[in-house]
Chains A and B, each alone.
Chain A
């Protein structure tokens, strides 16, 4: 099964161009969708999740036309939106039971087993009788993923799932995703580069509604191989450096600014080569897109 997005466009009534001819091909396994806030990630995901119409372009899931056959998609879909709430007065078990029924698991025995398994899998079995209103952010997020998984989806879309989670919760959550994401398509949108690096087989970077890079993380990183240099700098020096070089990013390390610049050859005194990582690529690509826009 493959999800093929072809020249998908969407402009909101207020003139915001959320998607601009986005084309992507997504296979099974974890797919990371990286981009700053407002890049169009959520619009893209909602459109795939049948919650929104596009102005142009197509999405196909295997042989299903996503925009025309929403019911077919919904049957195969697990969707966890960026921000969501749950019925506060319902127990985790009741909630999950309800959603499993909604997904079509209407056989009582099967559903019972499924709910128990999902609670186990998301480590919520102990609190299954508790009202969801009392849950912490991480617990709620895990219950959310359990809901998304309830119908054994072939396509799982999770939008910014780790925002607001503490490191332990985040790890636990990503491990869970990693487990699931072996055989199905999982689209994970995030603005945290690390999430993608740790988990995804493939990825895309979106900025202002456009795909600015896509491929396997290693491929994307590969294009910067040998071209990234870093230098420990000072605050006073920074403006000069930014004027003279193609600065990808400035990072503070124990209070000292460390500058990454892109250069095909050694950029000069104090710079040393550095192994590029996804973050460099991300900022580089975003920066490029911004420049293009400034020129245009």
Chain B
């Protein structure tokens, strides 16, 4: 035992004395500190309302860091035994009286202790960080020691033990540096692979169990925790979390035991298959070589060139033959391939693996991984000769330093090129495997070698410079790590100008429609600028290069100039010129051509707008009644002009004398803004986009006034944060924000609570309260209009089609432009857009309605389904809601700069990324998104464009929730209820995770404040459940009555309360509770089937007893729950053998029963029952939906009574 103790103490002491241990500790502490005290380090799970030091957040932080730490800590546990072999001390050790137990046990526990001690930095960092005076107290809970102690012991220590055991085993058994250095990365990769399992809903529990670090188990367990629970509850050690911890603790012990058994106290590592000592192969011996008669030593250009090539070749060979490099790149490639394999799944959907999706796998996160690889191996290459003690030989060689520096650089550059080449190969192979053959090799090359590659070279140059300057390997690596971390956090530290982001590409979104499009100039100039800087770094490296020994930095700096020859100086000048020109052009573009505004300045401007003009919010304005607009698009020059004549009327009872004109685009050049009646300008504040005028003669009630408007938008170069993608060469999509609005626009106010606190603005409600009658004066789409008459003229380049709402009247050429005239023959909302691109068009006619899809050639995949969806939607909505008000539906594709579809009158712009490349496989039970999204947008033609809610709480219930309801009803009719259930399961998941990430407060559906997870996801669930309860006919009766009464109404606009009254009218009193639960409150159910037993009945059949528990809760806005009594009508079912299209099996019984608390049901079925349970299809919102159904256990014995049992709880 004393032996053990001394080995243990030695191990611990050894690490504690190493400076690198302190560094690890510092890194952990620093990150945890930053997390708790700043926004630099953020983590999921800590939403806006979840406190930074909430128990769950601290626990997740610890677990995430075990993963990060694993890579760092490989050396501690992995090298514990290897170290002895490395230093050759194993032979000394193994011949002492030390026992295997003492040796292995001591080393292992010692390493574990050190690793555990290092992780103590995490809680310490959070504790110290959250105590910092600048931390917003709003974001913290009172200090509680158990918050830190509990997860440390229950979650973190088992992980540490496991990781240490794995690393220790690998180190001890392979005794191979390669594995020891790379196992951490392998662990990371394995981790991300198992993570891809989680994305599939059904595998989540399995993935949670299989997560060696338990992070996913904790995530899974707390997935639907509300804000309140996240802040209050201690970290659980039950259920899947406990199972996970026990499982992996067992694995850890097993691994250590295995190590102990297999490890032999001997010099050679145990190998399964001993590599045969290669027989010394005598190389065929040529005749003794004579000394060359003459030997010319050359130093001309040709000789230098050969020498450069030789250094390049050597640099390439030494890195690529390095085992660690091979290991890391293998991991990189595997990771890339893994990511590529999943690149075609997007939000649970499968898309075609088009080339840009494969390329974008190499996202910023991946690039960081690449940066690390680049900096480490650049550093290694620079230090190689000194590391080998070969530097004195190479330094005394008769070659200029530049030849060896350039050669090393080129060798690395070739390797990076090779890696990108492999990435391309991987992409192509993956595309092939997935059955997609349009490889677009040119795109691969342009992206990887045009965008990514220069960055790798720039970072390599920086690494050369840093290592030459610092001249200390470890410090050099450290500086580079600081640089990489810096690139990640610079922006959040407020350094936003791209001139300071070395090695970062300009923002870029590739689009099939518009290719690299408007991003090219910025990319090119960034390339020029950073390449220039990189050349200077490279020359700096050359000038400061260490050749020989004993030169101090000062001496090197003094003699630096002398090391640069004429060529180098010329190159330096070129680099300087490139940097100055590139930087100048970027500055000119970002700051002169465009208005540079930091996010802080933008916030201040918004705050100023509110402060200055809020008082005018209720100043009465005339209403828009007619818009005759024109848009002259010049996509080829990325500019356009808009013009229009707008007619307003005074609908108020008093005369009006003040006009407030707001322009949402401060950069717009307004040429004409003239009123048909004499006015005088009071305020012309172009910075805040506000003009205030006084009418010389007040506008009498009922009188009209016309505004003539003309403005130009010229996209000049590029801004700091990218370019305006509204007007692009192919795929223009501009909306009414380029036209003026009347009145103060509350939409221009700062929204986020945090930003408002920073600007000392009062707290702001997201929406006027339901019941605020004054808010019913406007729809939620705008505050200056009701229903308007509309006509639009759009001109564009001759090879493009331009589209606006309305029906095409005329198409003609004018001055070399192609002009389209659209007229809307009935009033519409003041909500329109203009699109223009080189489209292919499919046209069909369905019951007199023209259906058109304007799409990018090549995106034909889902046109049929979209067309089908339009037809089915129009049929169902027209038959059950109200007649369709237009004679046409058009779907128009636009580039993926935005990923939504949006419904304008008879016009649906639809992003290329959300439907056009989605992939429907044969026999796939994935959701049919193109069909669904189309049905949703067509639904909006009723639910928004016929009836629209007031600008107040709850109004999106009648547009977004109802469009969802409409779409899922059509979807169900097309695909059947089983596929729809899958869709609803996703909706439930999104709702429950959405409320966990709420930033302000969760609202009941009828008070929804434009919260997507409520009006979309919860909306789907409860409207479906309501239809299920009251029946489709009753539902449609209510909806059509509502539309009949409220469609195309004038103010006061309808509200969710009105909408509910229509539903109430068709809901029997006995079910009225459902409206309360679904719409007026936040209600959650908790169903559980406790037992399901079947007994065979003589003469065939089975009697099934199903015992269920039912609970119901009301939640407040942060998720504090109160249990309320249950008296609900709920499905109870028994299922038989598996059946295609029904995951639960063939329904043998499916009945609806009143459930109050714990109830037992009895059924008699003919076929063998497999599963049974309550609310088996999860129609009601239940955070633990899985325990609703249980497998039926068969009870032996023939005590079966053949009475047909009916449910004991039925009415």
Q: Report the stretch among A50-58, A166-174, A200-208, A254-262 that lies at the interface.
A: A50-58
Residues of chain B within 8 A (CB-CB) of A13 are 552
CB pair A49 B388 closer than 8 Å: no
CB pair B396 A50 closer than 8 Å: yes
Residues of chain B within 8 A (CB-CB) of A87 are 314, 317-318, 384, 388, 390
CB pair A102 B398 closer than 8 Å: yes
CB pair A75 B297 closer than 8 Å: yes
Q: Which of A46, A79, A117, A151 makes the CB contact (< 8 A) with B297?
A: A151
Residues of B126-150 contacting chain A, CB below 8 A = none
Q: Give the interface centre of B290, B291, B393, B552 by most chain A CB atoms within 10 Å.
A: B393
Q: Give the interface centre of A12, A84, A103, A104 by most chain B CB atoms within 10 Å.
A: A104
Q: With A98-B310, A104-B297 in contact, is A81–B283 under 8 Å at CB?
A: no
Q: Output the least CB separation between A79 and chain B (Å).
A: 5
Residue-by-residue, is B270-309 near A (CB-CB < 8 Å gives 1, otherwise 0)?
0000000000001101101111101111110011001100
Q: In this assembly, does A119 line the interface, its C-beta being within 8 Å of a C-beta of chain B? A: yes
Residues of chain A within 8 A (CB-CB) of B321 are 89
Q: In this assembly, does B926 line the interface, its C-beta being within 8 Å of a C-beta of chain A? A: no
CB pair B289 A90 closer than 8 Å: no
CB pair A46 B392 closer than 8 Å: yes
Q: Which of A51, A85, A128 makes the CB contact (< 8 A) with B396?
A: A51
Q: In this assembly, does B365 line the interface, its C-beta being within 8 Å of a C-beta of chain A? A: no
A186 to B1115, CA, bound (A): 92
Q: With A13-B552, A86-B390, A104-B299 in contact, is A116–B318 under 8 Å at CB?
A: no
CB pair A79 B396 closer than 8 Å: yes
CB pair B297 A103 closer than 8 Å: yes
Q: Output the least CB separation between A142 and chain B (Å).
A: 14
Q: In this assembly, does A286 line the interface, its C-beta being within 8 Å of a C-beta of chain B? A: no
CB pair A106 B302 closer than 8 Å: yes
11 residue pairs bridging A and B, Cβ less than 8 Å apart: A46-B548, A49-B392, A51-B548, A52-B549, A75-B398, A80-B393, A102-B394, A105-B297, A110-B295, A128-B283, A151-B297
Residues of chain B within 8 A (CB-CB) of A74 are 396-398
Further pairs besides A84-B393, A110-B292, A125-B289: 20, Cβ < 8 Å: A46-B392, A51-B549, A81-B389, A83-B389, A85-B388, A85-B389, A87-B318, A99-B397, A101-B307, A102-B397, A103-B398, A107-B298, A114-B291, A117-B291, A119-B289, A120-B289, A126-B283, A147-B393, A148-B393, A151-B295
Q: In this assembly, does B858 line the interface, its C-beta being within 8 Å of a C-beta of chain A? A: no
Residues of A52-85 contacting chain B, CB below 8 A = 52-53, 71, 74-75, 77, 79-81, 83-85
Q: Which of A84, A97, A152 makes the CB contact (< 8 A) with B390?
A: A84
Q: Output the least CB separation between B241 and chain A (Å).
A: 47
Residues of chain B within 8 A (CB-CB) of A103 are 297, 397-398
A89 to B555, CA, bound (A): 35
Q: Which of B289, B299, B396 makes the CB contact (< 8 A) with A113?
A: B289
Q: In this assembly, does B399 line the interface, its C-beta being within 8 Å of a C-beta of chain A? A: yes
Q: In this assembly, does B615 line the interface, its C-beta being within 8 Å of a C-beta of chain A? A: no
Residues of chain A within 8 A (CB-CB) of B288 are 120
CB pair B298 A106 closer than 8 Å: yes
CB pair B297 A50 closer than 8 Å: no
Q: Give the interface centre of A84, A94, A114 by most chain B CB atoms within 10 Å.
A: A84
CB pair A102 B550 closer than 8 Å: no
Q: In this assembly, does A129 line the interface, its C-beta being within 8 Å of a C-beta of chain B? A: yes
Q: Output the least CB separation between B292 and chain A (Å).
A: 4
CB pair B393 A116 closer than 8 Å: no
Q: In this assembly, does A127 line the interface, its C-beta being within 8 Å of a C-beta of chain B? A: yes
Return the chain B residue nearest A148 by Cβ: B393
**Interchain residue pairs A-B with the least CB separation, the first 4:** A116-B289, A104-B297, A85-B388, A51-B548
Q: Give the interface centre of B290, B392, B547, B549 by most chain A CB atoms within 10 Å.
A: B392
Q: Output the least CB separation between A77 and chain B (Å).
A: 6
CB pair A52 B388 closer than 8 Å: no
CB pair B298 A151 closer than 8 Å: no
A117 to B292, CA, bound (A): 8
A107 to B322, CA, bound (A): 30
CB pair B296 A102 closer than 8 Å: no
Q: In this assembly, does B1158 line the interface, its C-beta being within 8 Å of a C-beta of chain A? A: no
Main secondary structure of the interface of B (DSSP, over half): loop
Q: With A77-B396, A85-B389 in contact, is A125–B314 under 8 Å at CB?
A: no
Return the chain A residue nearest B304 by Cβ: A106
CB pair A89 B322 closer than 8 Å: yes
Residues of chain B within 8 A (CB-CB) of A106 are 298, 302-303, 306-307
CB pair B396 A101 closer than 8 Å: no
CB pair B283 A113 closer than 8 Å: no
Residues of chain B within 8 A (CB-CB) of A83 are 389
Residues of A134-174 contacting chain B, CB below 8 A = 144, 147-148, 151-152
Interface residues in B, total, Cβ within 8 A = 46
Q: In this assembly, does B749 line the interface, its C-beta being within 8 Å of a C-beta of chain A? A: no
A217 to B303, CA, bound (A): 43
A188 to B548, CA, bound (A): 20
A114 to B294, CA, bound (A): 10
Q: Which of B296, B307, B547 makes the CB contact (< 8 A) with A107?
A: B296
A31 to B310, CA, bound (A): 34
A273 to B730, CA, bound (A): 106
CB pair A51 B390 closer than 8 Å: no
CB pair B295 A125 closer than 8 Å: no
Return the chain A residue nearest B297 by Cβ: A104
Residues of B993-1047 contacting chain A, CB below 8 A = none
Q: Which of A97, A110, A147 makes the CB contact (< 8 A) with B294?
A: A110
A88 to B321, CA, bound (A): 10
CB pair B389 A84 closer than 8 Å: yes
A126 to B281, CA, bound (A): 9
Return the chain A residue nearest B400 by Cβ: A71
Q: In this assembly, does B395 line the interface, its C-beta being within 8 Å of a C-beta of chain A? A: yes
Residues of chain A within 8 A (CB-CB) of B283 are 125-129
Residue-by-residue, is B220-254 near A (CB-CB < 8 Å gives 1, otherwise 0)?
00000000000000000000000000000000000
Q: Output the least CB separation between A98 and chain B (Å).
A: 5
A102 to B307, CA, bound (A): 6
Return the chain A residue nearest B320 by Cβ: A89
Q: Output the least CB separation between B293 and chain A (Å).
A: 9
Residues of B309-333 contacting chain A, CB below 8 A = 310-311, 313-314, 317-318, 321-322
CB pair B395 A51 closer than 8 Å: yes
Q: Output the least CB separation between A109 and chain B (Å).
A: 8
A151 to B296, CA, bound (A): 9
Q: With A80-B393, A102-B399 in contact, is A75–B299 under 8 Å at CB?
A: yes
Q: Output the least CB separation between B282 and chain A (Å).
A: 6
A70 to B424, CA, bound (A): 47
Q: Output the least CB separation between A103 and chain B (Å).
A: 6
Q: Give the interface centre of A77, A102, A117, A120 by most chain B CB atoms within 10 Å.
A: A102
A110 to B388, CA, bound (A): 29
Residue-by-residue, is B548-560 near A (CB-CB < 8 Å gives 1, otherwise 0)?
1111100100000
Q: Output the least CB separation between B499 and chain A (Å).
A: 40
CB pair A51 B392 closer than 8 Å: yes
Return the chain A residue nearest B310 by Cβ: A101
Q: With A51-B395, A90-B317, A110-B294 in contact, is A101–B285 under 8 Å at CB?
A: no
A13 to B393, CA, bound (A): 24
Residue-by-residue, is B395-429 near A (CB-CB < 8 Å gives 1, otherwise 0)?
11111000000000000000000000000000000
CB pair A90 B549 closer than 8 Å: no
CB pair A104 B548 closer than 8 Å: no
Return the chain B residue nearest A84 by Cβ: B389
A83 to B397, CA, bound (A): 17
Q: Output the least CB separation between B647 and chain A (Å).
A: 81
Residues of chain A within 8 A (CB-CB) of B311 are 98, 102
CB pair A12 B550 closer than 8 Å: yes
A152 to B392, CA, bound (A): 18
CB pair A52 B289 closer than 8 Å: no
Q: With A87-B388, A104-B299, A106-B302 in contact, is A46–B549 under 8 Å at CB?
A: yes
Return the chain A residue nearest B291 by Cβ: A117
Q: Which of A89, A113, A128 makes the CB contact (< 8 A) with B292?
A: A113
Residues of chain B within 8 A (CB-CB) of A79 are 392-393, 396
Residues of chain A within 8 A (CB-CB) of B302 are 106
